[in-house]
Amino acid sequence: MEIRPILASLRKHRIPATLIVLEIALACAVLCNAVFMIGQRVASIHWSNAIDEQGISVVTVNGADPKLAASDIPRNLAALRGIAGVTAVAAATSMPLDQNPALSPFVTKPDANTTVNSSVYFIGSDGERAMGLRLLQGRWFNADEYAGSGFKNFASTGHVALVTQSDANRLWPRQSALGKTLYSNSASWTVVGVVADVLAQDPKFSGPGGMYSSVFYPLQPDGVMGDYVLRSAPQDRERVEREAVQVLGKLQQGAVVEGKTYAGMRSDYFADTTSMVWMLVLVCVVMLAVTAFGIVGLTSFWVQQRRRQIGIRRAVGATRGHILSYFRTENFLLSTAGVLAGMALAFGINLYLMEHYEMSRMPWYYLPGSAIALWLLGQLAVFGPALRAAAVPPVVATRSV
């Protein structure tokens, strides 16, 4: 395809050509950044979490008398074990994604400092099985450690802790974490096991440094344990959660009992993110539609304006294919100019967002990705008007002269 005549014709119609280029450039810039934001958010919705998310239900008991906890908790656990389909039950202080952060800084030397705040979890006997933690190294807590560990001022009075793989790598790079001493403020514990990465109680608050930084302690029945974690087969979880709320509601009169499946907790935590994703998708779709209709409108007008010229070209021997490809090439040239400007603009917007918002650098492939999307959109939009142009009969050339 010869492009010189196209360029000559575009030079004659500078303003409409500039408008199409501008529109494509803006659409490309917005699309790049919006898709990047969608990608980041979708990735956060799917953050991995090494517990049995599908099988867990959590029932929270708040406002029970803490002085009776030592007898209440074993009684409650026994009652919960009686629910059909429950394979493990344990009490705990908090759960990943429960939006109730209990944070502590952990270091490897008594006087060291850190900016990472780790989520602290205290789990009762059998907690590892009820949550479905995955042990990578070392061992679980033994019965003595569960029985001998208390809770004082947010810290464990026991001597042992489990850390996540991320923390093990962060605190003791290229060494085994097993047997090492973990310090927080003036207390210390021995690491007996490393578990696969469990999310923080509020990973958005903890940030990238702290989202997989979690420390687990054993704890004997204690008033601070408000969560009952029940594990069952995924298809039983809704029923198990319902029955557990009833059981605990009867046993803990005067307390506030609320239940949730873990799947529900996860979708609650990411509800904001999910709605933002849908909003971004909606904007992208509508924006692309508007751009496409703009291209259709302008090209149709162009075709109409050039009916005579098209007729003449047809009369002197151009085939329909020639006319079709003329308009498609013209659109391709305009789109190319548009996406080139758009990619530069997208990059600029990304730099601005990095400066003013918590946004990371956009990976390079988003740029050619949106460029290809807009090229395709342009070709799709121009197809209708181009077909109409190709349908112009050569006889038009002879009329009205």
- In the bound state with other proteins, the residue whose beta carbon lies nearer, of 138 and 203, is 203
The region that residue 317 occupies, defined by phi over 0 for left and psi between -120 and 50 for alpha, beta otherwise, is left
Among 8, 15, 84, 316, binds other proteins (CB under 8 A): 15
Determine which residue in the list 6, 10, 20, 397 makes contact with other proteins, applying CB under 8 A: 20
Q: Which of 73, 195, 248, 298 binds other proteins (CB under 8 A)?
A: 298
Count of positions (residues) in the chain: 401
Q: Is 96 helix (H, G, I), strand (E, B) or coil?
A: coil
355 makes contact with other proteins (CB under 8 A) = no
CA distance 73 to 136: 29
What is the smallest separation between the CB atom of 233 and other proteins, expressed in angstroms? 29
**In whole angstroms, what is the distance from residue 259 CA to residue 97 CA?**
15
Query: How far, in Å, CA of 141 to CA of 322, rounded?
Result: 78
Q: Least CB distance from residue 183 to other proteins, whole Å?
A: 11
Asked if 361 interacts with other proteins (CB under 8 A), we say: no
Q: Decide if residue 152 touches other proteins (CB under 8 A).
A: yes
C-beta separation of 164 from 214 below 8 A = yes
287 binds other proteins, rule: CB under 8 A: yes
Window 182-201: residues binding other proteins (CB under 8 A): 184-187
| Binding of other proteins by 109 (CB under 8 A) | no
Q: Residue written as tokens 């629910």?
A: 83
Q: Are 390 and 324 in contact (CB under 8 A)?
A: yes
| Residue 23 Cβ vs other proteins, minimum distance, rounded to whole Å | 5
Half-sphere exposure of 326 (CA within 13 A, CB side): 27
Asked if residue 263 binds other proteins (CB under 8 A), the reply is no
Answer yes or no whether residue 23 interacts with other proteins by CB under 8 A: yes
**Residue 143 near other proteins by CB under 8 A:** no
By the 8 A CB rule, do 96 and 214 touch? Answer: yes
Tokens standing for 89?
């039950």
User: In the complex, what is the shortest distance from the CB of residue 392 to other proteins, in angstroms, rounded to a whole number?
Assistant: 16
Q: How far is CA 233 from CA 22, 53, 94, 167, 229, in A?
A: 56, 11, 22, 30, 13
**Residues 164, 167, 172, 175: is their CA dihedral positive or negative?**
positive
Eight-class DSSP state of 107: B
Closest distance to other proteins from the beta carbon of 255 (Å): 7
Binding residues for other proteins, total number by CB under 8 A: 55
Among 7, 143, 233, 286, binds other proteins (CB under 8 A): 286
Structure tokens at 55: 């099988």
Nearer to other proteins, 125 or 214 (CB): 214
Return the number of the residue (155 or 333) whose C-beta is nearest other proteins: 155
Site for other proteins in 46-75 (CB under 8 A): 62-63, 65
291 binds other proteins (CB under 8 A): yes
Q: How far is the CB of 190 from other proteins (least distance, A)?
A: 18
CB-count burial class (<10 Å; 0-12, 13-18, 19+) for 199? buried
Using DSSP bridges, classify how beta strands 160-164 and 187-195 pair: parallel, antiparallel or unpaired: parallel
CB 147 to other proteins: min, Å: 22
Cα separation of 380 and 400, whole Å?
33
In the complex, which residues of this chain contact other proteins (CB under 8 A)?
A: 15-16, 19-20, 22-23, 26-27, 29-30, 34, 37, 62-63, 65, 104-105, 111, 113, 115, 152-155, 184-187, 254-256, 268, 271-272, 275-276, 279-280, 283, 286-287, 290-291, 293-294, 297-298, 300-302, 304-305, 353, 357-358
